[in-house]
Structure formats: structure tokens, C-alpha cells
Amino acid sequence: MKRPLVPRLRFPEFREAEEWQSPSLGEISEPVEERVGDQQLTPVSISAGIGFVPQYQKFGRDISGNQYQLYTVVRDGNFVYNKGNSLKYPQGCVYDLQGWGEVAAPNVFICFQLKDGFENSFFRQCFEKNAHGIQLRKHITSGARSNGLLNISKKDFYDIRIPTPEHAEQQKIADCLSSLDEMITLEAKKLEALKTHKKGLMQQLFPRAGETVPRLRFPEFREAGEWEEKTISEIGELLGGLSAKSAEDFGQGSPFVTYRQIFNSTYIDMKECRRVRVEKNETQNKLQQGDILFTASSETPDEVGVASVILAEPEVETYLNSFCFALRAYNYNSLNGQFSRYLFHSPSYRKSVTDIAQGSTRFNISKSTFRQIRIAITKDKKEQQKIADSLSSLDDLITLETKKLEALKTHKKGLMQQLFPVLEDEE
């Protein structure tokens, strides 16, 4: 017996209503195919997770070229399907244009508008939860083509079925989820404002390149004198990561800090270490409290020389992965570990690294070059601690707001699973 197409959670006024229908997208929409011609419109692209983006912003230039006149005129309220696969939407993404007026979209996109009685805001949520992608999977017979687009035909796309209630229930669901979206947007803005504030504070609390006095100093340190500029080689010695290891050595044995750990956080959480077998007779560098770890190679210069600090003494012998190196201060007490978290993420330090990162397809920084980087450090331990405490408290706020934002997103995801029924062939 066929199961009724109804959601697990339904608003009280609709609990006695008829079951949902499952029309094809072709039945409830009309294609949008007007060509741009001589009209002067902004050429756009679509980015998964973001939506419409001007081409000059996404690609650094207008890429429409001679194809511009063949682009499709898209107006507010129209939907556009981008066949490009992405991590968020492997079968492509769908967005409706809001607040742009009119734009020019590449003619490889599938553009459509809903018929009367079908609510844009409801279907926006359907496409956000990837209702289309689940059904399109069976039509993808190979990976993306050379132009990055999946081999999805218009017929396949318009044949997808979208579970749909009557208009009043569409509107109720859309209003509920839209209010959650507003909360998520507000929380995201608060989080972004905190990150921007921290970035600005970092620019003020650390001297600019070539300078030895920060532009903003806590009152009790304004008469403390200049910071001391040193090369990395004057601060401490550089230690390499694991050497002479094969794939068989990993997955068991002693903990080692991974590249990803360093890249993802300004301090190392030992619980996230992976394992490597190290024999007793091997000569490998062991990590200590206060060691500052750096990435040595990446695909972009912004990701080279990223730092993370060992804040507590490792309980067991711990090692470093092969693609990174460590800085160990000659005088442990001269450099506060918490202060180091921020010192080696300061704008002047980052500029020094990107200036010397070398490569074409992959960027690297050698230890010999890294040793020559100059960085200003306050000798006053209390000032180091004060700066660390100030920025650490901001990090705590950022972490709290991040958790709030993730909780809202998780709540919405769970609510969407309850508010939308699932077609039997999707289970």
C-alpha cells in the first residue's frame, strides 16, 4: 500500500488537510529563455552556498565575451539552475534572483519561473535542502565535462518531482523557515562583526612592518619603550618534522601533530593528533610546551607559514608531520605561549611570510629563508600576557557566537527534515 505523502510535522491548521502532491518541476514552472541581445545588464554567475555573484567579482573580470548577447535575461523572482557540481551541491544548485532587478545569466544555466499558486519562498527552501539533487543523481553518468558542468539535460531537470502542499501551507512553511533564516543571518553578522573587530585590533596591538611601537597600547605600557625587533633565528631554533616514514608507519604508535591541526587552530589540541610508529633507535624531533609550529607548503601563499602553538607539555612523546617545522625559543620564558598564538598571526608577520613564499602551482617556504624574517616582540612579559588575554577573550566570544550559529543551522536542518515529506523513491 502506498504511503500518504505527508510530513512528519505539520502545523495544526493543516493536519486534516489533503496529502501533498508531487508534480514535476515542468508542470509547475515555465522556462525563461529571453536573450539579452543589446540590453546592458550585469553578467552574473552562481556560487554554491552564496547565490548570484557578478562575474567581475567571482572571476576578477567579465567572462561573457562574444557570448553576452546569447545570455538569458533573468528577473527578480526567476529561478536559475547551475549544473556545476560543488561540495555543498554535488548535482548543482538552484537559486532565485532577489533584489537585483534584471541580470544576464550564461545560457548554459537552466532558467525558469513558477506558475501562479506556487510560492517562491517555499521552493527556495526545497532547493536549499537539495530536493533536486537527490533525484538528479541517477542521471549523472560521468563526472563534470571540460567546462565544469554536469551532463544534466533540461528534460531530466524538469522531470524532477517536488512534494508540494496547497498554497496556504506553502506560505506557512516558508514563513517559519524564513524567520529562522533571519535569525541565522543576524547571528552570522554578529560573528562577522566580532571577527572584523579582532582583525582591526590585531592591526593596532602589533607594530606594523618595520616599526617597533604598536599604534594601540594599554595605558600601563605606554612608557615601556620600544619593542625589540629580532629575526626568527635570534628567537630560537627551527626543527623539522618526521622524516623517513612510509605509509605503513601511520595509524599506530605515538601521536603526531597533523598539517590540518596547525592550519585550523592557533593552538594544538592533543586529542586530535594522529598516530605514527617511531622506533627507539630513530632520531626524530619531539615536541615540547611552547613550541610554535608552522606550515611549510600550500597551494596559496596565504596558507604558508600559518602558526599554531603547543600550550601544554605533551603527556607522551609527540611528533610533527613532515610538511611543517617548529620554532623552539632559546629562552622559553622570553615568549609567552598565548602571546605567540597572536604574534605569529599578526598582519606584519603574515606580510613577511607571503612576501617570501615561493612557487607557481604550490607555494613553499624554506627554513633558511624563514630564519631571516624579522618580527617585533615586547620584552615585557606582562604586556605579552595583557595582549594575549585581550585577544583570547575575543576568541572566546567568537567561539560562543560560532556555536550559536551552528546550533541554529542544525535546528533548521532538523526542522526541514520534519516539515517536508520524502518521496518513496528517495529513501
| Domains of the chain and any CATH numbers | 19-164 (3.90.220.20), 167-205+382-427 (1.10.287.1120), 228-377 (3.90.220.20)
Q: What is the pTM of this model?
A: 0.85
CA 387 – CA 375 distance, rounded (Å): 16
Query: pLDDT per residue over 47-69, tens digit each?
Result: 999 999 999 999 999 989 999 99
Contact 145, 11 (CB under 8 A): no
**Alpha helix segments (H runs only) across 36-166:** 55-59, 120-128, 131-136, 154-158
Measure the CA–CA gap between 236 and 371, rounded to whole angstroms: 9
For strand 42-47 and strand 102-105, is the pairing parallel, antiparallel, or unpaired?
parallel
Residue with C-alpha cell 562577522?
192
According to DSSP H, which parts of 265-380 are helical?
337-343, 347-356, 367-370
Starting at the edge strand found earlier in the chain, the sheet holding 297-298 runs 297-298, 363-364, 358-359
- Of 8, 19, 3, 1, which Cα lies nearest the Cα of 163? 19
Single-letter residue type at 105 = A
**Are the CB atoms for 34 and 102 separated by under 8 Å?**
no
What are the grid coordinates assigned to 54, written together?
557578478
What is the chain's pLDDT, residue by residue, as a tens digit (427 residues)? Answer: 678 899 999 999 999 999 999 999 999 999 999 999 999 999 999 999 999 999 999 999 998 999 999 999 999 999 999 999 899 999 999 999 999 999 999 999 999 999 999 999 999 999 999 999 999 998 886 655 555 678 899 999 999 999 999 999 999 999 999 999 999 999 999 999 999 999 999 999 999 999 999 999 999 999 999 999 999 999 999 999 999 999 999 999 999 999 999 999 999 999 999 999 999 999 999 999 999 999 999 988 899 999 999 999 999 999 999 999 999 999 988 999 999 999 999 999 999 999 998 887 789 999 999 999 999 999 999 999 999 999 999 999 999 999 999 999 999 999 999 999 988 766 5
Q: Is 180 exposed, middle or buried (0-12, 13-18, 19+ CB in 10 A)?
A: middle
Taking the C-alpha atoms of residue 288 and residue 305, their distance in angstroms, rounded to an integer, is: 19
Amino acid making up residue 176: C
Beta bridge partners, 30, equal 113
Instruction: Check residue 426 and give its pLDDT.
Output: 63
Backbone angles phi, psi at 174, to 5 degrees: -60, -40
pLDDT the model gives residue 371: 97
Q: Which residues pair with 93 in a beta bridge?
A: 82
Q: What is the pLDDT of residues 277-306, one digit of tens each?
A: 999 999 999 999 999 999 999 988 899 999
